[in-house]
Amino acid sequence: MRIFNTMTRQKQEFVPIEPGKVGIYVCGPTVYDFIHIGNARPMIVFDTLRRYLMHRGYEVNYVSNFTDVDDKIIKRANEEGVPAEQISEKYIAECRKDMEALNVLPATTHPQATKEIPDMISLVQTLIDKDHAYEKNGTVYFRTRSFSGYGKLSHKNIDELESGHRDAAHQLKVSGEDEKEDPLDFVLWKPKKEGEPCWQSPWSEGRPGWHLECSCMSAKYIGGTLDIHAGGEDLIFPHHENEIAQSEAAHDQTFANYWMHNAFLKINGEKMAKSLGNFFTVRDITAKVDPMVVRFFMLSVHYRRALNFSEELVADAGTSLERIRNCFEKLTERAQEGSPLAPGEEEKKKEADLLLTKFDAAMDDDLNTADAISAVFEFVRAVNASLAEGISGELAGIYRDALANVMEDVLGVKLAREVELPSEEIEQLIAERTEARKAKNFARADEIRKLLLEKGIVLEDTREGVKWKRA
């Protein structure tokens, strides 16, 4: 397989450190709210990478963190008057539900920053001992210029970065960081402010900087050198650059052999982001659209290309997926008939091998899911033609298995239409419908009734309230 490595800006043949095994670290979300569908892009893309590597016979150790100590979490906790932990635990649980809906496999390990503090403290100590870090008034900074490779991932020149910071002297004073030896230095440990979660350390009661957690947890759960480190492209600088500096300065070995970054999910040409307010949560979208359609939509474009989001584009993806599902359904029905391979069908079995060959070739080319899906459509066209002529149950079974293999096992898009809505989701939609009716938003109320009906749920308005049953 060839992977585009952000570090070398080239597609390179993937060679794991240990034959047959792959260690992948993916930067996970900061858990202060429901995740939006932009956050879901790296989750789906790198889950697909993981599934593909498994399909090629690798044993994959997949580690993805939850950032559970952060300014945004603390702010939210203060707003709601609850401990920060309550916010992070709640949104970790919600994020796991969204991942499950999107058929994203749970990571081998999902470490949480707050549970790894002693290891982070010892990493900071190592960096101080090696003169790569220093303490000032309870804050520990990384001495950026002490690491000669700084800027190699983002292809930034350290002197240009410095000049970018030059008129920042004033800014530093404002932020209280004028104690830094150099404006390029970044925080490894910071003292607590009133009302913030904190831990004892040799320097102050405080908390770790954001970059530190990934350096620490990747080494702990994967090892000194990662095969692949991944995340969204906004993380290249400074987050990943700082992770490299910390890890390589501490361990004197390459931090990661391959760096993969997904491009943004955009809306009206702009990055979808909480801070811009132009986001849709996964929860909102999947209440309206089959999560498998959302997943299929995400994979319809190569991960290094920007992906525009609109409800129409998702609906188009839904129509395309329907074509594959129809074919799958017909194959399933035919396969149940169980008739043996007919004379002359031996040759036709090759169609299934051809699908696999083309699919794998596309995925081998830097995880080109767009081309892989084209190969699936080519197969579906050929199969539909064969079905029209009539094929044996055995051949239908072979085709069906091939389709399930690439679509379900690798792309993670379930083809069967069973999707039964869980009761709590039904109740939630009914409550939303009742609210909509109260607000005289009858269009939305009807939309919800229709949506439920499509999922086989029938509503009955009674004097005691709304009752529902599965049709």
In the bound state with ligand AMP, the residue whose beta carbon lies nearer, of 104 and 429, is 104
The most distant pair of C-alpha atoms in the chain lies apart, rounded to whole Å, by: 83
Q: What letter would DSSP give residue 271? A: E
Binding span for Zn ion by CB under 5 A among 118-126, 214-222, 292-300, 454-462: 214-222
Locus of tokens 């403290």: 121
Q: Tokens at residue 86, please?
A: 């309550």
Q: Which residue's beta carbon is nearest to the bound ligand AMP?
A: 232
Nearer to Zn ion by Cβ, of 214 and 260: the residue is 214
Contact positions vs ligand AMP (CB under 6 A): 27, 29-30, 38-39, 41-42, 231-232, 234-235, 262, 264-265, 271-273
User: Distance (Å, rounded) from C-alpha 322 to C-alpha 293?
Assistant: 9
Decide which of ligand AMP, Zn ion, none touches 88; Cβ closer than 5 to 8 Å per partner kind.
Answer: none
Give which of ligand AMP, Zn ion, none residue 214 binds (C-beta under 5 to 8 Å, depending on kind): Zn ion
- Pick the piece of the chain touching Zn ion (CB under 5 A) from 87-95, 207-215, 361-369, 434-442: 207-215
Spatial distance between the Cα atoms of 328 and 415, rounded to a whole number of angstroms: 7
Tokens found for residue 132:
């790569």
214 binds Zn ion (CB under 5 A): yes
Closest approach of ligand AMP to the CB of residue 163, in Å: 27
* Rounded CA separation 470/4 (Å): 48
Contacting range for Zn ion; rule: CB under 5 A; set: 27-35, 244-252, 312-320, 408-416: 27-35
End-to-end Cα spacing for the chain: 47
How many residues belong to the chain? 471
As measured in angstroms, the least distance from the Cβ of 423 to ligand AMP is 30
Return the CA Rg of the chain. 26
Q: Which does 264 bind (CB under 5 to 8 A by kind): Zn ion, ligand AMP, none?
A: ligand AMP
Residue 285 burial (CB count, 10 A): 21
Other CB atoms within 10 A of residue 236 CB: 18
Among 7, 24, 27, 153, binds Zn ion (CB under 5 A): 27
Q: How far is the CB of 174 from ligand AMP (least distance, A)?
A: 24
Partner whose footprint covers residue 273, from Zn ion, ligand AMP, none (CB < 5 to 8 Å by kind): ligand AMP
List the single partner that 238 binds among Zn ion, ligand AMP, none, CB under 5 to 8 Å by kind.
Answer: none
How far is residue 254's CA from residue 237's CA, in Å, rounded to a whole number?
A: 18
What tokens were used for 171? 């800014």
Question: What is the contact surface with Zn ion in residues (CB under 5 A)?
Answer: 27, 214
